[in-house]
Amino acid sequence: MVNINNIIIEIRTDGRLIYEEKEDDSMLQATQTLEWLIQQLGHTTDMVNKPLKSNQKEATLVFIKTLVDSDKIQQMIIKPFFEIETRGNFIDYLHSLPDGQEITSQEQMLSELSKGSIVVSMNNYLFMFDIKKVHTNTVPITSLENTVLGPQSSMSEDIHTNINLIRNRYHQPTLTVEMLELGSKSIQSLAVIYDRELVDQTALEQIKYRLEQLNSKPLIQSTAELQRLINGRKVSLFPFFMITERTDRIVYNLSVGKIVLSLDGDPSTIVAPAIFTDFMAAMDDKYHSKLYTKFVQILRYVGLFITLLLPGFYVAATSYNPEILHTELALSVAGSRVGVPYPSYVEVTFMLIIMELLIEASIRLPKTISAAATTVGGLILGTAITEAALASNIMIIVVSAVAISNFAIPIGELNSAIRVLKYVFILFATIAGLAGLTFGLLAIVMYLTNSESYGEPYLKINIDLKSKGEQQ
Amino acid sequence: MSRYFYYLVVVEFVGSILSVIPSFLFESSKKGTIMSMLLALLAGVAFIYWITKFFNHYPGRGLPELLQQHIPKWMAFPILFLFSLAWFIFGLKTLLNYSFLLKRFLLPHLQINWIIALLLLFITYSFFMKTKKLLYTLEIVLFINIPLMIYIIGILYVNTGLDWDYVKKSMMYVYHAPNLLAFSASFLIFIGASNLIIVNREFKNKQKLTTFQILLLCVLGAWILFTNYFIPIGYNGFERIQYINFPWILGTDSLKVALAFLERIMFVFLFLHISVTFVNIIIFWHVSLELLKSTAKLVRRKQKESNMITYIFVLVVWSISLIISMKITESSYLMYARSLFVAFPPFFLLVLIVCWFISWRDKHDNRSLKTN
Amino acid sequence: MITAALKQTRWISLLLILSLLVPIAAGCGTKDIDKRMFVIGVGVDKSDNEEKPYKVSLKVPVPMNKKSSGTSPGFIFLTEEAATISEALHLLKTHVDKNLEYGHAKFIVIGESILNEDLRVVMDIFLRRREFQQTAWTTVGKPSAESVLKAKPASDIPDINILFNRFSGIGTESSYIVSVFLFDFRRQLVERGIDPVLPIIETNEEKDKIIVNKAMIVNDNFKGKLELTTEQVGDYNMITNSMGSVKFELGVKAEDYNFTVYIDKVKSKYKIITNNNKPVVKMNLELTGVVEESTKRLVQHKTEEYSRLAGAVVKKRLEKFLTHLQKNEVDPIGFGLRYEATRLHTEHIEDEWNKLYPELSFDVTVHVKITSLGSIE
């Protein structure tokens, strides 16, 4: 491996610049490297090896056509090449271009070329510039997390645009961006962004440590995958990172000292560490009036409890302790269950599974069929099942209430966790009725308080009087 | 004082309503319970004051560390072991009462050892939790349950079914000599603060117990005692209240409140009961476990042993609970509980003596250090 | 590290064990709601059989699917005779195909025939079994508990709330109805200083009318029982004010005035004074109401006089009522209890009271406030 150092020592005498050529065989090295690069890339048709010649200047350009921005090549390199008179001046010019990259090794040059850099060889000097063209830098509108008021732009799929968006909302010089590369095959860039003064140092160190452990993974395409890898747990149900696409949410989290991980090619960004109450807060809470916000927050928690406990409560109340319901209600429930052939917990599970299938299917349905699916779903889960006495009327109400209140939870990750959790509660209620439900609740509380997200306790009521602005 | 201290004290207050304490108070309702309650109030508040003041001197350290530092090993070991055993018995008695209640009202179809097994499944998870996390759990459970409790007690006071004549009649029995059982039962309401022997490890900042806070605790304790004793009398009548097994459950069942879809308030009360007693048990047993772990640390200084201790503890808990559950009935339980209750106040006196001894040794050592 | 991994496996194995418990649970304890029948009324009568003195009747609604049969459930009635009530309940289980649940039993009707027995024995099962609600209404059934339970008056929508509406104040509100919960009955029964009162539900031969306007006092010293007339029930309610707000009509006939006042607020309190030689109960009542009907024209500025007249009428009525109670040696209002509640307890306080009660005189002061004379003069 030949190590070419293209930092040229300049000696100024009489105001003129003199170039000292380092070694005699450096010229040979430069040409050797170039040949090696061309040979490595020679098999692909989109490699371009272009010699430029003008007066006494000679240069060679090597790049991969489909990656680079040809306008930029034209403007940045080719035109000046023909406009600048002397060779020396052109080399000065190339030095002073801001897009230059440091060359460390042949392999590095090769890898950079496959990312969209251009190698310019002039005499025996090698320059490398980053002029990649991105097509994914449009700034879309938020699709997953919607708010009524406030900014509507979401992250794009290009990492530089994303950092641009973030920096534009957070004009602090302490905002630090560290770039890492992930994936031995895909070599994606990962930006670790944090505010140097406010960040939680222990969490930062832990995250960086975990990221360094990931050298063996060949392909990391999305932040969600990344999240699972640096979770630190083999099996987890609850999310310990927040994934968001909203720029305002990211910036808010930065301002309270969290760390943001953004992967090139994925609009979702990871915010760590994240605790339970973060998942129950939507950005809307900051944009509406205070009382309305309180009302909506309470509503969300009510929704959370309904979706977790209602199916279990139904099982407990019908099969174990029917004296807990009002007489008329108990008679209603008994009446509506007349003719249903199986016990209540089977009924509940069966209806919920069908509803889950409906939800799963509607994610993957092409838009043309979605209308038909909703009709079918409504018909099946609605009147037809009760008419056929496969489920009771009240069951339908329970299932719809559960489904609707499930989606009141703002962040999708917790949503999914809760969807699985309610089956656990149904299990507890089946074994021990109402007492089992309470025990299940206590067990989940214990489990959640026992977990930590990078040193922060997961479930904790923060009523610090001098709050440092924890998110809601 | 940190708010977690209050949680410990309050959870014991609330838990006392739900345990066998009211039954013992009513047993001697014609023989001087009121006097005993007053005495116990004084004794209890004094206990809280002394023990908190002692631990405030040593922020961040629990009893095992203090014992290790100031007391020779041959004395510290039996003390720690005895304390661990005592806390274990607290938890056990609460667990047994709890399972009786569950069997009677919520899970009549399960046999009692299945109920205990079910409870132990969940409690075992708590053995692996650290003290700090346990405190967070306590906070959350209280957060959910305290509003319910205030609501129920509020309704109990305001409901027309409460006939103050019965209460007044019971109050007229005030000029009787205090009764040991009633005194012990009321005193046990105040032992929440004794969990400081382990929980103090988490109070790393210097805590202060001001006079206002003491007064507040005094008022709260008095109110709890009052409610504990007099409210069931108001609802169940005075004459034969000593023959009622679960006076509070029957009392809350006497409320006719149109509460959403629930028929009887008793179920809300039961829910409250289940959560709070559960947390009570896990705190007691956590303290017991930690004390046991510290005895092991005294003997050998290796860290690996602490996990072994936890597993041994789990085994012991399961076996003892299941064996006892098969042999015990409600009446034999009452018999044992009676003798246990009477033994507890002297035990807590012992705890205070140990604390005083440590502080004396500390001053003694300091003095000798200063002179040297 | 090892602990963490062990914890994980522990958690997973826990879940596995739990899921294995489901089939076990499926075998025991779970009984779906449509395999249960909720008893809403229990009646106890005396049967003619010497060896099986208790005749227990149950009223059970049959749940029907709301869509297919309209809004109302039908009822079935079960009767059984046995030596004890619990035996009867067990026998009754064989009458139906579903499990009988007593958690919703809202009515406990005691037949007239059984009032002579020791009610403590009769009521024991209702207090001992965990299922019975303490807020069930305890009543007396005339002519018998069974007939009361079976009655289906045309006016009430055949709905489970037949009797419920009358007693809870949700339906009709009347001061002639005494509503006594089970826990209240129990504590009154057990307490020596107060005698329990029970409302009487009457029904006729055809079982299509239910009238509740009388009450029965049961002397718990087994000295018999006393039936109160409608007006006396009104007096009782006025004094004890147990339902919170008693509304009734007060007819005033005096000095050629004849008008009715609709009273909607009653405040009553009393004190037992034993300092002087003559023990006396001083009772103060404050009634507020409006005039509803009058035979003569009433003048505005004479409202004071009308109030005074009304007060005098009430005073006479109450004093008559209280003396009547005293003569029959019953004490439903709880003077005995109040006596014991206001004096320090001594050994002989009960005997003191028993000697005192027949000697008591009643001093009732009634203040009626007529707020308006109605829409016309």
C-alpha distances out from residue A280 to A258, A276, A444, C228, Å: 17, 7, 17, 62
pLDDT of residue B114: 83
Residues A439-459, mean pLDDT to the nearest whole number: 82
pLDDT of residue B256: 73
Helix (H, G, I), strand (E, B) or coil at C248: strand
> Do C167 and C246 sit in the same domain of this protein?
no
A431 contacts B140? CB cut-off 8 A: no
Mutation for testing the A interface, residue in B2, B100, B107 having most A CBs under 10 Å: B107
- Of A314, A425, C130, nearest to B107 by C-alpha is C130
Quote the tokens at residue A142: 């938020």
Confidence grade of residue A391 (pLDDT, cut at 50, 70, 90) = confident
Residues A175-180, mean pLDDT to the nearest whole number: 86
Higher pLDDT, C173 or A338: A338
Quote the tokens at residue C145: 């508990």
pLDDT of residue A469: 35
Distance CA C199, CA C210 (A): 12
E strands, A92-240, in order: 117-122, 125-130, 175-182, 188-195
pLDDT tens digits, one per residue of A68-126? 888 888 888 888 888 887 878 888 888 888 877 777 877 888 888 888 888 888 877 88
pLDDT tens digits, one per residue of C244-267? 556 777 777 777 777 788 887 788
CB C27 within 8 Å of CB C10: no
C341 contacts B165? CB cut-off 8 A: yes
Instruction: Answer with the one of C228, C250, C274 that is the final residue of a domain.
Output: C228
Q: In terms of pTM, does the model score above 0.80?
A: yes
Query: Subunits touching B (CB < 8 Å, at least 3 pairs)?
Result: A, C
Give the H or E element holding residue B363.
helix B330-371
B237 contacts C191? CB cut-off 8 A: yes
pLDDT of residue B305: 61
Residue A258: pLDDT over 60: yes
DSSP B64-132: HHHHHHHS-HHHHHHHHHHHHHHHHHHHHHHHHHHHHHHHHHT-TTS-HHHHHHHHHHHHHHHHTS-HH
How many Å lie between the alpha carbon of B191 and the closest alpha carbon of chain C? 32
User: Which residue(s) pair with C272 in the sheet?
Assistant: C281
pLDDT of residue C244: 53
Contact residues on chain B for A457, CB-CB shorter than 8 A: 132-133, 136
CB B20 within 8 Å of CB B336: no
pLDDT tens digits, one per residue of B48-86? 888 888 888 888 888 888 888 888 888 888 888 889 999
The upper half-sphere exposure of residue B220, i.e. CA atoms within 13 Å in the direction of its Cβ, equals 19
A431 contacts C12? CB cut-off 8 A: no
Place of tokens 């019965």: B166
Tabulate helix, strand, coil % of chain B (nearest 5).
80, 0, 20
Residues C337-344, mean pLDDT to the nearest whole number: 80
Instruction: Answer with the one of C169, C200, C228 that is the final residue of a domain.
Output: C228
How many Å lie between the alpha carbon of C108 and the closest alpha carbon of chain A? 16
Give the H or E element holding residue A225.
helix A223-229
Contact residues on chain C for B108, CB-CB shorter than 8 A: 29, 130
Contact residues on chain C for A345, CB-CB shorter than 8 A: 30
Which residues have a Cβ under 8 Å from the Cβ of A24 and sit 6 or more positions away?
Answer: none
CB B191 within 8 Å of CB B340: no
Confidence grade of residue A23 (pLDDT, cut at 50, 70, 90) = very low
Per the structure, the count of domains in chain B is 1
Least confident of A224-228, B122-126, B276-280, B305-309: B305-309
Quote the tokens at residue B113: 């050892």
Residues A342-368, mean pLDDT to the nearest whole number: 83
- Whether chain B has a CB inside 8 Å of the CB on C15: the answer is no
Supply the DSSP symbol for A325. B
pLDDT tens digits, one per residue of B5-57? 888 999 988 888 878 888 888 888 778 788 888 889 999 999 988 888 888 88
Contact residues on chain B for C29, CB-CB shorter than 8 A: 107-110
C-alpha distances out from residue B365 to B66, B136, B358, B369, Å: 13, 37, 10, 6
pLDDT of residue B302: 62
- Taking all residues of chain C, what is their mean pLDDT, rounded to a whole number? 76
- Beta carbon pairs, A and C, within 8 Å: 84
pLDDT tens digits, one per residue of B245-254? 788 888 888 7
B261 contacts A326? CB cut-off 8 A: yes
Quote the tokens at residue B268: 């809300």
Please report the ipTM that was assigned to this predicted complex.
0.87
Per the structure, the count of domains in chain C is 2
Domain span including residue B149: 3-371
Distance CA C122, CA A374 (A): 60
Least confident of A31-40, A350-359, B121-130, B146-155: A31-40
C-alpha distances out from residue B83 to A422, B9, B135, B189, Å: 41, 19, 21, 18
| Domain CATH code at residue B294 | 1.10.4160
C175: alpha, beta or left, given left = phi > 0 and alpha = psi -120 to 50? Answer: alpha
CB C257 within 8 Å of CB C306: yes
CB atoms near residue C16 (< 10 Å)? 9
pLDDT tens digits, one per residue of C175-202? 677 778 888 888 888 777 788 888 888 8
Give the H or E element holding residue C283.
strand C280-294
E strands, A203-333, in order: 242-244, 259-263, 269-272
Quote the tokens at residue C130: 């965990």
Domain span including residue C203: 33-228
How many Å lie between the alpha carbon of C111 and the closest alpha carbon of chain B? 24
- The number of angstroms, rounded, from the C-alpha of C194 to the middle of its chain's C-alpha atoms is 15
pLDDT of residue B282: 92
| Domain CATH code at residue C353 | 3.30.300.210
Residue B233: pLDDT over 60: yes
Measured in residues, chain A has a length of 472
CB C287 within 8 Å of CB C266: yes
Which residues have a Cβ under 8 Å from the Cβ of A436 and sit 6 or more positions away?
Answer: A316, A428, A429, A430, B118
Residues B228-241, mean pLDDT to the nearest whole number: 82
For residue A343, say if its preceding peptide bond is cis, omega within 30 degrees of 0.
no
Partner residue opposite B175 with nearest CB, options C183, C243, C344 = C344
Partner residue opposite A337 with nearest CB, options C29, C34, C131 = C34
A74-98 burial, b at 16+ Cβ within 10 Å, e below that, comes to eebbbeebeebeebeebbeebeeee
- The number of angstroms, rounded, from the C-alpha of A432 to the middle of its chain's C-alpha atoms is 41
The upper half-sphere exposure of residue C155, i.e. CA atoms within 13 Å in the direction of its Cβ, equals 8
DSSP-H helix ranges across A106-189: 106-113, 159-169
Residues A142-158, mean pLDDT to the nearest whole number: 82
pLDDT of residue A466: 36
Q: What is the dihedral of CA B42, B44, B45, B50, to 10 degrees?
A: 120
> Do C63 and C207 sit in the same domain of this protein?
yes
Residue C10 lies in a domain: no
Contact residues on chain C for A337, CB-CB shorter than 8 A: 32-34
Instruction: Answer with the one of C207, C228, C249 that is the final residue of a domain.
Output: C228
**Interaxial angle between packed helices A370-379 and A344-364, expressed in degrees from 0 to 180 and rounded to the nearest 10:** 170
Least confident of B14-23, B100-109, B248-257, C68-77: C68-77
- Taking all residues of chain A, what is their mean pLDDT, rounded to a whole number? 80
pLDDT of residue B283: 92
N- to C-terminal Cα separation, chain A: 56
Residue C159: pLDDT over 80: no
pLDDT tens digits, one per residue of C215-235? 777 765 655 677 777 778 777
- Of A274, A213, A265, A211, nearest to A242 by C-alpha is A274
Distance CA A47, CA A45 (A): 6
Do the strands A16-19 and A47-54 form a parallel or antiparallel pair, or are they unpaired? unpaired
Helix (H, G, I), strand (E, B) or coil at C237: helix
Distance CA A86, CA A142 (A): 52
Q: How many helices (H) and strands (E) does chain C have?
A: 11, 14
How many Å lie between the alpha carbon of B168 and the closest alpha carbon of chain C? 5
A62 phi/psi in degrees, rounded to 5: -125, 125
- Whether chain C has a CB inside 8 Å of the CB on B303: the answer is no
C-alpha distances out from residue A469 to A204, A258, A410, A449, Å: 19, 12, 20, 21
- The number of angstroms, rounded, from the C-alpha of A260 to the middle of its chain's C-alpha atoms is 9
B169 contacts C193? CB cut-off 8 A: yes
Contact residues on chain A for C67, CB-CB shorter than 8 A: 393
Distance CA B44, CA A99 (A): 76
Residues C126-141, mean pLDDT to the nearest whole number: 81
Q: Which residue of A has its CA nearest to B129?
A: A450
Residue B171: pLDDT over 50: yes
Residue C261 lies in a domain: yes
**B 201-230 residues with CB below 8 A of C?**
none
Higher pLDDT, A450 or B286: B286
